[in-house]
Amino acid sequence: ALCNQGVKFTNAYAAAAVCSPTRASLLTGRHPSRNGVSDWIRPPGGSPKPRVVRGGTEYLDDPERLLLVPPPPRGLPLEEVTLAEALSRDGYATGHIGKWHLGGRHALPLDQGFDSNQGGQVFGQPASYFDPYGRKGRGLPGLPPRKPGEHLTDRETDEAVRFIWQNRDRPFFLNLWHHAVHAPLQGRADLVEKYAQLGQRQAHYAAMVAGVDESIGTLMGVLDELGLSQNTLVIFTSDNGGRTPLGDNAPLRGGKGLPYEGGLRVPQIVRFPGRIPPAISLVPVTSVDLFPT
């Protein structure tokens, strides 16, 4: 439906083949080599990898990688100007819902221009996709337990609907970054059953994709209901290519984590009824483009 209502980009690229750099580039409009987030951000307390110095520059000494990798950043630097900060200065309500993975303490959404944060934390994935979304005290900030067993995608959708209703009479920027379809692979039970019956080998993966699809449909319905569709720009995209072998990126080579087409080419649809006519665009675009555009 989004493709029919907006512009489908067939040559859209993430700024990196893993999540954190792409997310940083989207919020800053700057390439990973400029904003300092060039790899996924490791949680604190992890065992440090040995380092090696080449030509005066320090890299991770990781024998499993063919290429030298710079030490992972701790978070998106606070001196970077984010899209949320820019829009907040123009009077927008700014809300973040879902995955963050751009830093922990002192580098969370509330530190980067967002008025609210529901789900954003240092970790790139939840401990569980079912309420209370964690174990041993590791839940998700701003998402207190509500309904035992409720799926995280549904909960994030509800929070997004609430944000839109609360801010329907003023400009708003909703940064909805669903945790799905990241590991652990845990789909909603009814969707898992549906795809298992269809013979889908990766029923949980398919169910998580379907859950996000349902969420987008719900949110577009809310914009229509409130009469906001004609005045709301919707951007749907991803932070890296599909994960193999769970998904199939053929005929593209590779997948998430690999700097080939399969790791970098992503979906991108832009919907703005009345402003941007439906079309298919072959023009190459990247997540770095979104902020300045």
Query: Residue 228: which region, alpha, beta or left (left: phi > 0; alpha: psi -120 to 50)?
Result: alpha
Question: Among this protein's residues, is 19 annotated catalytic?
Answer: yes
Residue 31: active-site member:
no
State the number of CA atoms in the 13 A half-sphere of 58 facing the CB.
6
Q: Enter the DSSP assignment of 233.
A: -
Residues 6+ apart with CB under 8 A from 55: none
Structure tokens at 37: 């987030």
264 close to 13: Cβ distance less than 8 angstroms: yes
The Cα–Cα gap between 281 and 48 comes to: 44
Query: Which segments within the chain are labelled E, that is strand?
Result: 7-9, 12-13, 51-54, 57-60, 93-98, 116-118, 172-177, 234-237, 265-266, 268-271, 279-281, 285-286
* Annotated catalytic residue, options 96, 101, 182, 204: 101
Specify the pairing of strand 93-98 against strand 57-60: unpaired
Cis peptide before 148 (omega within 30 of 0): no
Q: CB burial class (10 A; 0-12, 13-18, 19+) of residue 287?
A: buried
Q: Is the dihedral of CA 36, 287, 273, 3 positive or negative?
A: negative
The set of catalytic residues is: 19, 101
